[in-house]
Structure 1
Amino acid sequence: MNRKFSTAEKGKGIDQPVEPTRATRVRVPHFDPAELVHNHDLMLIGRITNPKIQKMWALLPFLADHWKVSSRPVCADMGHERFQYQFACEEDIQLIMANRPYHFAHWMVILQRWEPTVASPFPSQIPFWIKVHGVPSHLWSNAMLLSLASNIGHFESSEIITSSARVRVMINGLKPLIISSTLEFSTGDEVKAELVYERLEIHCSLCHMLDHDIKECPESEERQSHKYIENTQREDKC
């Protein structure tokens, strides 16, 4: 008759040792990166803002097909929510850069020209045309728009027409959007300007970050927690 094995013999109920995550540190010998850097002159580096929604395998061919350039760019997933495109000529890159910002699956995509950096925040810069609301038209000026842009990012250009004033600004897409600004004029007058970002897709309407919506906002959870505590304290006093 076959002998029955005990629980201990089967290994059941016994915590198995967890293998530690393996990692190494490698010292790379010195080499001249000049030629490699030259090969990256026609490259754009991008970042998705919401990896839960924006799937890299779908984004890469979509943008490559969407861009109407002389030759289809070669794309690659770089990991860490980043990707790259290698273009055939400078004219193609200039065309793509001029038409920013881009979005995919209704979330923004950050796209910058390649730079020789290993900084984790790169790429982070995204340009927007921003309409300035709430400022009387007699105060619209290029000087006002330049001052406003310099306060929230890097000024690129401005446009004033009969019906509107707007400014194109390069901002850090990894930080909250600035949606209003108080303008102080030399006359002593102060005006609150509301900033409306053109071609802005889904983002958080509470903290104004680009990487989540209000349903997943940490500030929303914190406010709900504070509200619950306040209600509980109020009930205890009754």
Structure 2
Amino acid sequence: MSQIRGNSVKPMLRIRVPHFDNSDIIKSLNKTLIGRITNPETQNVGSIVSVMPKIWKLDDGRVTGSDLGLGRFRLDFKREEDILEVLKTEPFSFNQWMVSIVRWEPAVYKNHPCDITFWVSLVGVPTHWWEDRVLRRIGDELGTVREVDEVNAMVKVTVNGTKPLCFEIPVRFETSGEEVDVKVEYEKLSGYCSTCFRLSHDKESCPESDCAEK
């Protein structure tokens, strides 16, 4: 690989790390959450690391955090039960914009972490189609379905927070030939662009918005 600077090309180093046993490091991270902000213009990682334990009422030393750079951070817990209680409160937001917070895993890919889990109401599904397979099929178009609530026509779904949200889906029921537009309502959704439906900026900052061109 090379890097272009002006009219010159400077070679970039490629480093190979020899094999070694990192199982102890992985084990030490079994009570760690890793997070990423969605809107760098309004969210500060240092503030999140400081404030989130207070929001969770765990600012008594049971949680310590650090800035990992590139909008990412880690939160180390002393007790597994505290992690489980915190994850029950998802989705997470800070300063009126969403935050992706997930359990740490040895993952190496761009934009990790980016998962955000919402309970979603599927408004407009005829009541005679409020059935697990139907609701799950609709939820599959939004992300990864975690749970289905047939009583209230809702699904718990994990979405990719770097992609635009979907707020309406045309659904055709092959059995009856019916077709309806299903509106998607995300519980606890905080901050998104009403032009492109992304979580990373508001309408005024959207590259697709007329406001951004002025």
TM bucket normalised to smaller: 0.7 to 0.9
Counterparts of 2:47 and 2:77, CA distance in 1: 19
The yes-or-no answer on 1:36 pairing with 2:54 is no
TM-score under structure 2 length normalisation: 0.87
Which protein has the bigger helix share?
1
User: Pairwise mapping of residues 126-141 of structure 1 onto structure 2 (< 5 A)?
Assistant: 126-141=116-131
Q: 1:62 to 1:223 in 2, by over 3 A?
A: closer
CA contact (8 A) 2:92 2:100 kept: yes
Counterparts of 2:87 and 2:49, CA distance in 1: 17
Q: 1:39 to 1:167 in 2, by over 3 A?
A: same
Consecutive unaligned residues in structure 1, runs of 5 or more: 1-19, 226-238
User: Pairwise mapping of residues 70-85 of structure 1 onto structure 2 (< 5 A)?
Assistant: 72-85=62-75
Counterparts of 2:164 and 2:205, CA distance in 1: 15
Deviation at 1:44, TM superposition (A): 0.6
Consecutive unaligned residues in structure 2, runs of 5 or more: 1-8
Counterparts of 1:21 and 1:50, CA distance in 2: 33
CA contact (8 A) 1:56 1:77 kept: yes
The yes-or-no answer on 1:176 pairing with 2:164 is yes
Counterparts of 2:110 and 2:156, CA distance in 1: 26
CA contact (8 A) 1:65 1:72 kept: no
Deviation at 1:79, TM superposition (A): 0.1
Counterparts of 1:74 and 1:22, CA distance in 2: 39
**Which of the residues 45, 50, 54 maps onto 2:39?**
50
Counterparts of 2:146 and 2:128, CA distance in 1: 23
Asked which structure has the greater RCO (Cα within 8 Å, sep 6+), the reply is 2
Which protein has the bigger strand share?
2
Counterparts of 1:99 and 1:56, CA distance in 2: 20
TM-score under structure 1 length normalisation: 0.79
The yes-or-no answer on 1:153 pairing with 2:143 is yes
Deviation at 1:183, TM superposition (A): 1.5
The alignment of Structure 1 onto Structure 2 pairs a total of residues equal to 205
Q: 1:146 to 1:111 in 2, by over 3 A?
A: same
**Percent identity (aligned):** 36
Looking at CA atoms only, which structure, 1 or 2, has the larger radius of gyration?
1
